[in-house]
Amino acid sequence: MRYKYYILLALFLISLAASIILSFVPVQDVCNVREECYTVYNSSYSSILGIKNSYLGVVLFTAGIIFISLQIRNPSILKRNLIRIMTVIGASIAVFFLIIQFFVLKAYCQYCLIVDLSMLAALVTLFVYWKH
């Protein structure tokens, strides 16, 4: 059942694309200053230890894409477990950021939502095909 990995690969690619936009496109081109996106982008929750979350996303989603691609080519239990761990942790972080956006900031970043919802979809995919 390798197609689950193709689904995961697509979701990680979507997350990577959104993270790249947030990382490398100037904030004024990504978010209008009057929009909620700008509030999220410049909040105290937008970085960890001084590193923008979007940069961390680029690194982690790239690593996930590499592991998934390797798993598609040459499956192994180690890679399968690493993909599972990355997806569960990623989805947990996504839930945290969704809570921050909806209940703390009461503002929404469309690119952040793409990343968060993609990770939740990856988790659902993982659970649906857990035994396969």
- pLDDT tens digit sequence for 103-120: 999 998 999 999 999 999
Average pLDDT over residues 117-125: 97
Query: Which CATH number belongs to the domain containing residue 7 in this structure?
Result: 1.20.1440.130
CA gap 128, 108 in Å, rounded: 29
Residue 111: which of 51, 59, 35 has the closest Cα?
35
Tell me what pLDDT residue 31 has: 79
CA gap 115, 96 in Å, rounded: 12
Overall number of domains in the chain: 1
Q: Provide the domain limits for residue 84.
A: 3-128
Tell me what pLDDT residue 132 has: 60
Q: What is the mean pLDDT of the chain?
A: 92
Q: What is the percent of the chain with per-residue pLDDT over 90, rounded to a whole number?
A: 80
Instruction: Read off the pLDDT of residues 76-99 as tens digits, 9 standing for 90 and up.
Output: 999 999 999 999 999 999 999 999
